[in-house]
Structure 1
Protein backbone atom coordinates (compact mmCIF):
# COMPACT_ATOMS: atom_id res chain seq x y z
CA UNK A 1 0.00 0.00 0.00
CA UNK A 2 1.52 3.38 -0.99
CA UNK A 3 1.78 6.20 1.51
CA UNK A 4 -1.30 8.37 1.67
CA UNK A 5 -1.50 11.92 0.31
CA UNK A 6 -4.23 14.56 0.45
CA UNK A 7 -6.67 14.65 -2.44
CA UNK A 8 -5.19 17.92 -3.63
CA UNK A 9 -1.90 16.13 -4.35
CA UNK A 10 -0.79 13.68 -7.08
CA UNK A 11 -0.47 9.98 -6.37
CA UNK A 12 2.60 9.49 -4.13
CA UNK A 13 5.82 8.41 -5.82
CA UNK A 14 5.68 5.00 -4.12
CA UNK A 15 2.20 4.37 -5.57
CA UNK A 16 1.24 3.08 -9.01
CA UNK A 17 1.66 5.15 -12.17
CA UNK A 18 -1.86 6.52 -12.66
CA UNK A 19 -3.67 8.85 -15.08
CA UNK A 20 -5.27 12.02 -13.65
CA UNK A 21 -8.92 12.27 -14.68
CA UNK A 22 -12.03 14.27 -13.85
CA UNK A 23 -15.77 13.59 -13.86
CA UNK A 24 -18.75 15.85 -13.19
CA UNK A 25 -22.20 14.94 -11.90
CA UNK A 26 -24.59 17.45 -13.47
CA UNK A 27 -27.91 18.00 -11.70
CA UNK A 28 -31.06 19.46 -13.22
CA UNK A 29 -34.81 19.50 -12.64
CA UNK A 30 -36.79 19.20 -15.89
CA UNK A 31 -39.69 21.10 -14.27
CA UNK A 32 -40.09 23.12 -11.09
CA UNK A 33 -41.83 20.20 -9.40
CA UNK A 34 -39.93 17.39 -11.11
CA UNK A 35 -37.42 15.01 -9.49
CA UNK A 36 -33.70 15.69 -9.39
CA UNK A 37 -31.95 14.19 -12.42
CA UNK A 38 -28.34 13.56 -13.41
CA UNK A 39 -26.78 13.47 -16.86
CA UNK A 40 -25.27 10.16 -17.95
CA UNK A 41 -23.21 9.21 -20.98
CA UNK A 42 -23.22 5.73 -22.52
CA UNK A 43 -19.75 4.98 -23.78
CA UNK A 44 -19.05 3.27 -27.09
CA UNK A 45 -18.42 -0.45 -26.72
CA UNK A 46 -15.06 -0.07 -28.43
CA UNK A 47 -13.63 2.21 -25.71
CA UNK A 48 -10.79 0.69 -23.66
CA UNK A 49 -12.15 1.96 -20.37
CA UNK A 50 -15.78 1.22 -19.41
CA UNK A 51 -16.73 0.32 -22.97
CA UNK A 52 -20.54 0.24 -23.29
CA UNK A 53 -21.06 1.45 -19.72
CA UNK A 54 -23.15 4.40 -18.56
CA UNK A 55 -20.98 6.94 -16.74
CA UNK A 56 -20.93 10.64 -15.87
CA UNK A 57 -19.28 13.04 -18.34
CA UNK A 58 -15.52 13.23 -17.96
CA UNK A 59 -12.12 12.03 -19.05
CA UNK A 60 -8.39 12.38 -18.56
CA UNK A 61 -6.75 15.66 -17.54
CA UNK A 62 -4.68 17.04 -20.43
CA UNK A 63 -1.48 19.13 -20.19
CA UNK A 64 -3.42 22.13 -21.54
CA UNK A 65 -5.84 21.79 -18.61
CA UNK A 66 -2.96 22.28 -16.16
CA UNK A 67 -1.78 25.29 -18.17
CA UNK A 68 -5.22 26.93 -18.12
CA UNK A 69 -5.69 26.10 -14.44
CA UNK A 70 -2.45 27.88 -13.55
CA UNK A 71 -3.71 30.92 -15.44
CA UNK A 72 -7.26 31.02 -14.10
CA UNK A 73 -6.97 29.38 -10.67
CA UNK A 74 -3.47 30.20 -9.39
CA UNK A 75 -4.52 30.01 -5.74
CA UNK A 76 -6.03 26.51 -5.88
CA UNK A 77 -4.08 23.27 -5.62
CA UNK A 78 -2.91 22.38 -9.11
CA UNK A 79 -4.40 18.88 -9.22
CA UNK A 80 -7.89 20.03 -8.24
CA UNK A 81 -7.78 23.16 -10.42
CA UNK A 82 -6.73 21.18 -13.49
CA UNK A 83 -9.39 18.58 -12.78
CA UNK A 84 -12.04 21.33 -12.68
CA UNK A 85 -10.90 22.57 -16.08
CA UNK A 86 -10.88 19.03 -17.50
CA UNK A 87 -14.39 18.34 -16.20
CA UNK A 88 -15.71 21.50 -17.91
CA UNK A 89 -13.84 20.75 -21.14
CA UNK A 90 -14.91 17.11 -21.30
CA UNK A 91 -18.54 18.05 -20.63
CA UNK A 92 -18.57 20.46 -23.56
CA UNK A 93 -16.81 17.93 -25.78
CA UNK A 94 -19.00 14.96 -24.86
CA UNK A 95 -22.42 16.57 -24.38
CA UNK A 96 -22.46 20.04 -25.92
CA UNK A 97 -23.11 21.68 -22.54
CA UNK A 98 -20.97 24.65 -21.47
CA UNK A 99 -21.07 24.60 -17.69
CA UNK A 100 -19.59 26.80 -14.95
CA UNK A 101 -19.47 30.11 -16.84
CA UNK A 102 -20.34 33.48 -15.33
CA UNK A 103 -22.21 34.41 -18.53
CA UNK A 104 -25.30 32.51 -19.74
CA UNK A 105 -24.47 30.43 -22.82
CA UNK A 106 -27.14 29.67 -25.41
CA UNK A 107 -27.42 26.49 -27.45
CA UNK A 108 -26.06 28.03 -30.66
CA UNK A 109 -23.01 29.46 -28.89
CA UNK A 110 -22.39 26.18 -27.12
CA UNK A 111 -22.55 24.29 -30.42
CA UNK A 112 -20.03 26.68 -31.99
CA UNK A 113 -17.79 26.40 -28.93
CA UNK A 114 -17.92 22.63 -29.08
CA UNK A 115 -16.91 22.64 -32.74
CA UNK A 116 -13.94 24.87 -31.92
CA UNK A 117 -12.95 22.65 -29.00
CA UNK A 118 -13.07 19.52 -31.13
CA UNK A 119 -10.83 21.27 -33.66
CA UNK A 120 -8.35 22.85 -31.25
CA UNK A 121 -8.56 20.62 -28.15
CA UNK A 122 -8.00 23.41 -25.61
CA UNK A 123 -10.67 25.00 -23.42
CA UNK A 124 -8.58 28.15 -23.16
CA UNK A 125 -9.02 28.78 -26.88
CA UNK A 126 -12.80 28.52 -26.46
CA UNK A 127 -12.88 30.92 -23.50
CA UNK A 128 -10.74 33.46 -25.34
CA UNK A 129 -12.77 33.25 -28.56
CA UNK A 130 -16.16 33.68 -26.87
CA UNK A 131 -15.07 35.98 -24.06
CA UNK A 132 -16.35 33.67 -21.33
CA UNK A 133 -15.18 33.63 -17.72
CA UNK A 134 -15.30 30.45 -15.67
CA UNK A 135 -17.09 30.25 -12.31
CA UNK A 136 -14.99 27.57 -10.57
CA UNK A 137 -17.16 27.59 -7.45
CA UNK A 138 -20.00 26.18 -9.55
CA UNK A 139 -18.19 22.83 -9.38
CA UNK A 140 -18.01 21.30 -5.92
CA UNK A 141 -15.34 18.67 -5.23
CA UNK A 142 -17.37 15.56 -4.42
CA UNK A 143 -15.21 12.43 -4.36
CA UNK A 144 -11.85 10.98 -5.39
CA UNK A 145 -11.46 7.41 -6.63
CA UNK A 146 -8.33 5.57 -7.72
CA UNK A 147 -7.67 1.82 -8.00
CA UNK A 148 -4.14 0.90 -6.97
CA UNK A 149 -2.77 -0.37 -10.24
CA UNK A 150 -0.66 1.08 -13.05
CA UNK A 151 -2.58 3.05 -15.73
CA UNK A 152 -5.64 3.34 -13.50
CA UNK A 153 -7.59 6.59 -13.65
CA UNK A 154 -7.01 8.82 -10.61
CA UNK A 155 -10.44 10.46 -10.85
CA UNK A 156 -11.73 13.52 -9.06
CA UNK A 157 -15.53 13.85 -9.09
CA UNK A 158 -17.37 17.17 -8.99
CA UNK A 159 -21.04 18.11 -8.79
CA UNK A 160 -22.79 21.12 -10.35
CA UNK A 161 -26.39 22.25 -10.70
CA UNK A 162 -28.01 23.56 -13.89
CA UNK A 163 -31.26 24.50 -12.16
CA UNK A 164 -34.64 23.99 -13.82
CA UNK A 165 -35.61 23.80 -17.46
CA UNK A 166 -34.87 22.16 -20.77
CA UNK A 167 -31.21 21.66 -21.70
CA UNK A 168 -29.80 21.03 -25.16
CA UNK A 169 -27.40 18.09 -25.30
CA UNK A 170 -25.95 16.22 -28.27
CA UNK A 171 -23.96 13.00 -28.16
CA UNK A 172 -20.48 13.22 -29.68
CA UNK A 173 -21.04 9.90 -31.52
CA UNK A 174 -17.37 8.95 -31.27
CA UNK A 175 -16.48 7.98 -27.69
CA UNK A 176 -20.17 7.87 -26.70
CA UNK A 177 -23.38 6.55 -28.22
CA UNK A 178 -26.12 7.98 -25.99
CA UNK A 179 -26.85 10.78 -23.53
CA UNK A 180 -29.73 10.65 -21.09
CA UNK A 181 -31.12 12.39 -18.01
CA UNK A 182 -32.36 10.16 -15.21
CA UNK A 183 -32.88 10.08 -11.47
CA UNK A 184 -30.08 8.28 -9.66
CA UNK A 185 -32.49 5.70 -8.20
CA UNK A 186 -33.91 5.08 -11.66
CA UNK A 187 -30.39 4.57 -13.05
CA UNK A 188 -29.82 1.88 -10.42
CA UNK A 189 -33.06 0.18 -11.48
CA UNK A 190 -31.89 0.32 -15.11
CA UNK A 191 -28.59 -1.28 -14.11
CA UNK A 192 -30.32 -4.02 -12.12
CA UNK A 193 -32.59 -4.86 -15.07
CA UNK A 194 -29.71 -4.93 -17.54
CA UNK A 195 -30.91 -1.88 -19.46
CA UNK A 196 -27.57 -0.19 -18.77
CA UNK A 197 -24.22 -1.37 -17.42
CA UNK A 198 -22.38 0.54 -14.70
CA UNK A 199 -18.91 0.13 -13.28
CA UNK A 200 -18.25 -0.20 -9.54
CA UNK A 201 -17.53 3.50 -8.79
CA UNK A 202 -20.57 4.65 -10.78
CA UNK A 203 -22.87 2.31 -8.84
CA UNK A 204 -21.51 3.47 -5.50
CA UNK A 205 -21.90 7.11 -6.54
CA UNK A 206 -25.46 6.56 -7.83
CA UNK A 207 -26.36 5.02 -4.47
CA UNK A 208 -25.02 8.09 -2.73
CA UNK A 209 -26.65 10.53 -5.17
CA UNK A 210 -30.02 8.78 -4.81
CA UNK A 211 -30.17 10.03 -1.22
CA UNK A 212 -30.22 13.69 -2.26
CA UNK A 213 -33.51 15.51 -2.77
CA UNK A 214 -31.75 18.57 -4.18
CA UNK A 215 -28.40 20.24 -4.77
CA UNK A 216 -28.41 21.76 -1.29
CA UNK A 217 -28.60 18.29 0.29
CA UNK A 218 -25.68 17.19 -1.86
CA UNK A 219 -23.58 20.13 -0.72
CA UNK A 220 -24.42 19.48 2.94
CA UNK A 221 -23.42 15.81 2.64
CA UNK A 222 -20.19 16.69 0.84
CA UNK A 223 -19.32 19.19 3.56
CA UNK A 224 -19.86 16.47 6.17
CA UNK A 225 -17.46 14.04 4.45
CA UNK A 226 -14.08 15.59 3.56
CA UNK A 227 -12.82 14.15 0.28
CA UNK A 228 -10.03 11.56 0.40
CA UNK A 229 -8.82 9.04 -2.17
CA UNK A 230 -10.94 5.91 -2.25
CA UNK A 231 -9.04 2.73 -3.10
CA UNK A 232 -11.37 -0.25 -3.72
CA UNK A 233 -9.93 -3.46 -2.30
CA UNK A 234 -10.78 -7.16 -2.31
CA UNK A 235 -12.04 -8.78 0.87
CA UNK A 236 -12.60 -12.49 1.49
CA UNK A 237 -15.97 -13.25 3.08
CA UNK A 238 -17.90 -16.44 3.78
CA UNK A 239 -19.76 -16.07 0.47
CA UNK A 240 -16.64 -15.34 -1.59
CA UNK A 241 -14.57 -12.33 -2.63
CA UNK A 242 -16.09 -8.86 -2.33
CA UNK A 243 -14.93 -5.58 -3.83
CA UNK A 244 -15.23 -2.99 -1.05
CA UNK A 245 -14.41 0.57 -0.04
CA UNK A 246 -13.68 1.97 3.41
CA UNK A 247 -16.38 3.55 5.54
CA UNK A 248 -16.41 7.26 6.27
CA UNK A 249 -16.61 8.68 2.74
CA UNK A 250 -20.39 9.20 2.75
CA UNK A 251 -21.39 6.10 0.79
CA UNK A 252 -24.41 4.08 1.98
CA UNK A 253 -23.22 0.84 0.33
CA UNK A 254 -19.59 -0.18 0.77
CA UNK A 255 -19.24 -3.11 -1.59
CA UNK A 256 -20.60 -6.00 -3.62
CA UNK A 257 -19.49 -9.51 -4.61
CA UNK A 258 -16.53 -9.35 -6.98
CA UNK A 259 -18.36 -11.61 -9.42
CA UNK A 260 -21.07 -8.97 -9.92
CA UNK A 261 -18.78 -5.90 -9.92
CA UNK A 262 -17.67 -4.37 -13.19
CA UNK A 263 -14.36 -2.57 -12.62
CA UNK A 264 -13.74 -0.85 -15.97
Structure 2
Protein backbone atom coordinates (compact mmCIF):
# COMPACT_ATOMS: atom_id res chain seq x y z
CA UNK A 1 0.00 0.00 0.00
CA UNK A 2 1.22 3.51 -0.82
CA UNK A 3 2.57 5.25 2.31
CA UNK A 4 0.66 8.30 3.54
CA UNK A 5 2.62 11.49 4.14
CA UNK A 6 1.34 14.08 6.64
CA UNK A 7 0.87 17.51 5.07
CA UNK A 8 -0.46 20.99 5.80
CA UNK A 9 -2.26 23.48 3.56
CA UNK A 10 -3.18 27.09 4.30
CA UNK A 11 -6.13 29.03 2.91
CA UNK A 12 -4.68 32.54 3.09
CA UNK A 13 -7.51 35.08 3.24
CA UNK A 14 -8.06 38.82 2.80
CA UNK A 15 -11.04 41.15 2.46
CA UNK A 16 -11.42 42.53 -1.08
CA UNK A 17 -13.85 44.87 -2.79
CA UNK A 18 -16.08 41.94 -3.77
CA UNK A 19 -15.84 40.24 -0.37
CA UNK A 20 -13.68 37.45 1.00
CA UNK A 21 -10.74 36.53 -1.23
CA UNK A 22 -8.39 33.54 -1.05
CA UNK A 23 -4.84 33.19 -2.37
CA UNK A 24 -4.60 30.48 -5.04
CA UNK A 25 -1.66 28.96 -6.89
CA UNK A 26 -1.73 27.08 -10.19
CA UNK A 27 0.77 24.26 -9.98
CA UNK A 28 3.12 23.88 -12.96
CA UNK A 29 2.08 21.17 -15.39
CA UNK A 30 5.29 19.21 -14.89
CA UNK A 31 4.69 18.63 -11.19
CA UNK A 32 4.40 14.92 -10.26
CA UNK A 33 1.39 15.66 -8.05
CA UNK A 34 -1.58 17.81 -9.16
CA UNK A 35 0.25 19.37 -12.11
CA UNK A 36 -1.86 22.08 -13.77
CA UNK A 37 -4.29 22.18 -10.85
CA UNK A 38 -5.20 25.22 -8.78
CA UNK A 39 -4.42 24.76 -5.09
CA UNK A 40 -3.42 26.59 -1.91
CA UNK A 41 0.09 27.01 -0.48
CA UNK A 42 1.07 23.84 1.31
CA UNK A 43 3.10 20.66 1.30
CA UNK A 44 4.41 17.71 3.20
CA UNK A 45 5.77 17.79 6.73
CA UNK A 46 9.55 18.06 7.08
CA UNK A 47 11.00 16.00 9.98
CA UNK A 48 12.46 19.19 11.49
CA UNK A 49 8.97 20.68 11.71
CA UNK A 50 8.71 18.67 14.93
CA UNK A 51 11.68 20.44 16.54
CA UNK A 52 10.79 21.20 20.14
CA UNK A 53 13.04 24.27 20.22
CA UNK A 54 10.90 26.23 17.74
CA UNK A 55 9.88 29.57 19.26
CA UNK A 56 6.11 29.41 19.72
CA UNK A 57 3.40 31.91 20.60
CA UNK A 58 -0.29 31.09 20.84
CA UNK A 59 -2.10 27.82 21.62
CA UNK A 60 0.55 25.14 22.31
CA UNK A 61 0.86 21.82 20.43
CA UNK A 62 -1.07 20.06 23.19
CA UNK A 63 -4.13 22.20 22.40
CA UNK A 64 -3.67 21.83 18.65
CA UNK A 65 -3.53 18.05 19.07
CA UNK A 66 -7.16 18.10 20.18
CA UNK A 67 -8.19 20.29 17.24
CA UNK A 68 -6.33 18.27 14.64
CA UNK A 69 -7.05 14.79 16.02
CA UNK A 70 -3.43 13.71 16.42
CA UNK A 71 -0.71 13.47 19.06
CA UNK A 72 1.27 16.45 20.32
CA UNK A 73 4.30 15.88 18.10
CA UNK A 74 2.07 15.50 15.06
CA UNK A 75 0.32 18.76 15.93
CA UNK A 76 3.64 20.59 16.25
CA UNK A 77 4.74 19.24 12.88
CA UNK A 78 1.51 20.21 11.13
CA UNK A 79 1.35 23.76 12.51
CA UNK A 80 5.04 24.34 11.76
CA UNK A 81 4.60 22.91 8.25
CA UNK A 82 1.65 25.26 7.67
CA UNK A 83 3.74 28.30 8.65
CA UNK A 84 6.83 27.14 6.75
CA UNK A 85 4.99 26.26 3.54
CA UNK A 86 3.09 29.56 3.53
CA UNK A 87 6.39 31.42 3.66
CA UNK A 88 8.03 29.17 1.07
CA UNK A 89 5.18 29.28 -1.45
CA UNK A 90 3.55 32.67 -0.87
CA UNK A 91 6.24 34.76 0.85
CA UNK A 92 3.98 35.29 3.88
CA UNK A 93 5.32 34.56 7.38
CA UNK A 94 2.90 33.90 10.24
CA UNK A 95 5.34 34.91 12.97
CA UNK A 96 5.96 37.80 15.32
CA UNK A 97 7.42 38.88 18.62
CA UNK A 98 7.80 36.10 21.22
CA UNK A 99 5.37 37.87 23.56
CA UNK A 100 2.63 37.60 20.93
CA UNK A 101 2.18 41.36 20.77
CA UNK A 102 2.65 41.77 17.04
CA UNK A 103 3.23 40.16 13.63
CA UNK A 104 6.34 40.78 11.56
CA UNK A 105 5.18 43.51 9.14
CA UNK A 106 7.52 43.01 6.20
CA UNK A 107 9.34 39.93 4.95
CA UNK A 108 10.53 41.28 1.60
CA UNK A 109 14.09 42.13 0.63
CA UNK A 110 17.23 40.24 -0.30
CA UNK A 111 18.02 38.82 3.15
CA UNK A 112 14.50 37.49 3.65
CA UNK A 113 14.56 36.00 0.14
CA UNK A 114 17.87 34.24 0.81
CA UNK A 115 16.40 32.72 3.97
CA UNK A 116 13.23 31.66 2.15
CA UNK A 117 15.36 29.91 -0.45
CA UNK A 118 17.35 28.21 2.33
CA UNK A 119 14.08 26.88 3.75
CA UNK A 120 13.14 25.51 0.33
CA UNK A 121 16.44 23.65 -0.02
CA UNK A 122 16.26 22.51 3.63
CA UNK A 123 19.56 24.25 4.44
CA UNK A 124 17.57 26.08 7.12
CA UNK A 125 14.78 24.83 9.36
CA UNK A 126 11.85 26.93 10.49
CA UNK A 127 13.17 26.85 14.06
CA UNK A 128 16.54 28.19 12.87
CA UNK A 129 14.95 30.95 10.79
CA UNK A 130 12.83 32.14 13.71
CA UNK A 131 15.81 32.03 16.07
CA UNK A 132 17.99 34.10 13.71
CA UNK A 133 15.23 36.69 13.38
CA UNK A 134 14.24 36.72 17.07
CA UNK A 135 10.70 35.71 16.15
CA UNK A 136 8.15 33.17 17.31
CA UNK A 137 5.66 31.14 15.30
CA UNK A 138 2.17 32.63 15.80
CA UNK A 139 -0.11 29.61 16.08
CA UNK A 140 -2.96 31.92 17.11
CA UNK A 141 -3.09 33.27 13.54
CA UNK A 142 -4.20 29.87 12.25
CA UNK A 143 -7.54 28.10 12.54
CA UNK A 144 -8.22 24.42 11.74
CA UNK A 145 -10.55 24.09 8.76
CA UNK A 146 -10.59 20.63 7.14
CA UNK A 147 -8.91 17.21 7.05
CA UNK A 148 -8.54 15.27 3.81
CA UNK A 149 -6.87 11.92 3.17
CA UNK A 150 -5.88 10.85 -0.36
CA UNK A 151 -7.73 7.65 -1.39
CA UNK A 152 -5.78 4.34 -1.30
CA UNK A 153 -5.70 3.88 -5.09
CA UNK A 154 -3.62 7.03 -5.67
CA UNK A 155 0.13 6.72 -6.27
CA UNK A 156 0.90 9.67 -3.98
CA UNK A 157 -1.03 9.87 -0.72
CA UNK A 158 -1.28 12.71 1.79
CA UNK A 159 -2.98 13.07 5.16
CA UNK A 160 -3.59 16.82 4.98
CA UNK A 161 -4.88 19.30 7.53
CA UNK A 162 -6.27 22.50 6.04
CA UNK A 163 -5.91 25.76 7.98
CA UNK A 164 -7.28 29.27 7.42
CA UNK A 165 -5.30 32.43 8.19
CA UNK A 166 -5.66 36.13 7.48
CA UNK A 167 -2.98 37.89 5.43
CA UNK A 168 -0.98 39.83 8.06
CA UNK A 169 -1.05 43.62 7.85
CA UNK A 170 1.97 44.94 5.97
CA UNK A 171 2.75 41.68 4.20
CA UNK A 172 1.97 40.80 0.59
CA UNK A 173 1.48 37.36 -0.89
CA UNK A 174 3.93 37.00 -3.74
CA UNK A 175 4.33 34.66 -6.71
CA UNK A 176 7.57 33.13 -5.44
CA UNK A 177 7.01 29.38 -5.66
CA UNK A 178 8.88 27.44 -8.31
CA UNK A 179 6.05 24.90 -8.09
CA UNK A 180 3.45 27.37 -9.45
CA UNK A 181 3.15 29.31 -12.69
CA UNK A 182 0.32 31.60 -11.52
CA UNK A 183 -0.73 33.18 -8.24
CA UNK A 184 -3.95 35.13 -7.77
CA UNK A 185 -6.49 36.43 -5.25
CA UNK A 186 -10.06 35.38 -6.08
CA UNK A 187 -13.37 35.19 -4.30
CA UNK A 188 -14.39 31.57 -3.73
CA UNK A 189 -17.36 32.08 -6.05
CA UNK A 190 -15.19 33.39 -8.90
CA UNK A 191 -12.71 30.54 -8.52
CA UNK A 192 -15.50 27.95 -8.57
CA UNK A 193 -17.10 29.57 -11.61
CA UNK A 194 -13.80 29.22 -13.49
CA UNK A 195 -13.56 25.61 -12.35
CA UNK A 196 -17.05 24.84 -13.65
CA UNK A 197 -16.16 26.53 -16.97
CA UNK A 198 -13.19 24.19 -17.30
CA UNK A 199 -10.53 26.91 -17.14
CA UNK A 200 -9.36 26.31 -13.56
CA UNK A 201 -9.10 22.58 -12.76
CA UNK A 202 -8.93 21.65 -9.08
CA UNK A 203 -8.73 18.55 -6.95
CA UNK A 204 -11.82 17.71 -4.86
CA UNK A 205 -10.44 19.13 -1.56
CA UNK A 206 -9.92 22.54 -3.19
CA UNK A 207 -13.41 22.53 -4.72
CA UNK A 208 -15.05 21.54 -1.45
CA UNK A 209 -13.15 23.97 0.78
CA UNK A 210 -13.84 26.84 -1.62
CA UNK A 211 -17.51 25.97 -1.32
CA UNK A 212 -17.18 26.13 2.47
CA UNK A 213 -15.42 29.50 2.27
CA UNK A 214 -18.16 30.90 0.01
CA UNK A 215 -20.52 30.88 2.99
CA UNK A 216 -18.48 33.54 4.81
CA UNK A 217 -18.84 37.25 3.99
CA UNK A 218 -15.40 38.27 5.27
CA UNK A 219 -12.18 37.13 6.91
CA UNK A 220 -13.44 37.62 10.45
CA UNK A 221 -16.42 35.35 9.82
CA UNK A 222 -14.22 32.67 8.24
CA UNK A 223 -11.82 32.68 11.18
CA UNK A 224 -14.71 32.49 13.62
CA UNK A 225 -16.45 29.73 11.68
CA UNK A 226 -14.02 26.89 12.29
CA UNK A 227 -15.69 23.46 12.29
CA UNK A 228 -16.23 21.33 15.39
CA UNK A 229 -13.15 19.71 16.89
CA UNK A 230 -11.49 17.40 16.19
CA UNK A 231 -11.64 17.58 12.41
CA UNK A 232 -13.27 14.60 10.71
CA UNK A 233 -11.12 13.11 7.92
CA UNK A 234 -12.61 13.03 4.43
CA UNK A 235 -11.47 10.45 1.88
CA UNK A 236 -13.48 10.39 -1.37
CA UNK A 237 -14.35 7.46 -3.59
CA UNK A 238 -14.70 7.80 -7.36
CA UNK A 239 -17.34 6.84 -9.88
CA UNK A 240 -17.65 6.96 -13.66
CA UNK A 241 -20.93 8.02 -15.25
CA UNK A 242 -21.92 8.88 -18.85
CA UNK A 243 -21.59 12.58 -17.99
CA UNK A 244 -18.14 12.40 -16.41
CA UNK A 245 -15.98 11.22 -13.52
CA UNK A 246 -16.98 12.16 -10.00
CA UNK A 247 -15.47 12.24 -6.52
CA UNK A 248 -18.03 11.10 -3.96
CA UNK A 249 -17.61 12.27 -0.36
CA UNK A 250 -18.74 10.30 2.71
CA UNK A 251 -21.81 12.56 3.08
CA UNK A 252 -22.89 11.86 -0.51
CA UNK A 253 -21.63 15.14 -2.01
CA UNK A 254 -20.48 14.62 -5.62
CA UNK A 255 -17.71 16.72 -7.19
CA UNK A 256 -17.05 16.58 -10.92
CA UNK A 257 -13.39 16.00 -11.77
CA UNK A 258 -11.97 18.45 -14.32
CA UNK A 259 -8.78 17.61 -16.22
CA UNK A 260 -6.33 20.46 -17.04
CA UNK A 261 -6.56 21.69 -20.63
CA UNK A 262 -3.55 20.97 -22.89
CA UNK A 263 -0.99 23.80 -22.94
TM-score for both structures, normalised by structure 2: 0.79
Match for residue 153 of structure 1? Answer: 158
Structure 2: where are the runs of 5+ without partners? 66-71
- Provide the secondary structure at the position in 2 that maps to 1:46: coil
Match for residue 146 of structure 2? Answer: 143
CA distance, structure 1, for counterparts of residue 30 and residue 52 of structure 2: 31
The answer on whether the counterparts of 1:43 and 1:175 sit within 8 Å (CA) in structure 2 is yes
- Provide the secondary structure at the position in 2 that maps to 1:231: coil
Q: CA deviation at 1:254?
A: 1.5
Match for residue 205 of structure 1? Answer: 209
- Provide the secondary structure at the position in 2 that maps to 1:117: helix
Match for residue 172 of structure 1? Answer: 176
CA RMSD of aligned residues (A): 2.9
- Provide the secondary structure at the position in 2 that maps to 1:128: helix
Q: Alpha-carbon deviations, 1:64-113, whole Å to 9, x = none? A: 11125877445342222211111111111111111243433233557633
Match for residue 137 of structure 2? Answer: 134
- Provide the secondary structure at the position in 1 that maps to 2:19: coil
CA distance, structure 2, for counterparts of residue 57 and residue 26 of structure 1: 8
Are 1:17 and 2:22 an aligned pair? no
Match for residue 8 of structure 1? Answer: none
Correspondent of 2:127 among 76, 101, 124 = 124
CA distance, structure 2, for counterparts of residue 117 and residue 238 of structure 1: 47
Q: Alpha-carbon deviations, 1:201-226, whole Å to 9, x = none? A: 11111111111112343345424474
Structure 1: where are the runs of 5+ without partners? 1-14, 248-252
- Provide the secondary structure at the position in 2 that maps to 1:85: helix
Are 1:54 and 2:38 an aligned pair? yes
The answer on whether the counterparts of 1:97 and 1:110 sit within 8 Å (CA) in structure 2 is no
Q: Alpha-carbon deviations, 1:152-186, whole Å to 9, x = none? A: 011110011236x6742322252111211111111
CA distance, structure 2, for counterparts of residue 229 and residue 199 of structure 1: 16
Greater RCO between the two (CA within 8 Å, min separation 6)?
2
Cα distance change of structure 1 residues 81 and 69 upon mapping to structure 2, 3 Å threshold: farther
Cα distance change of structure 1 residues 114 and 168 upon mapping to structure 2, 3 Å threshold: same
Residue correspondence of structure 1 range 54-93 to structure 2 within 5 A: 54-68=38-52, 72=56, 73=60, 75=62, 76=65, 77-93=72-88
CA distance, structure 1, for counterparts of residue 241 and residue 28 of structure 2: 35
Q: CA deviation at 1:234?
A: 2.9
Deviates more, 1:98-107 or 1:34-43: 98-107
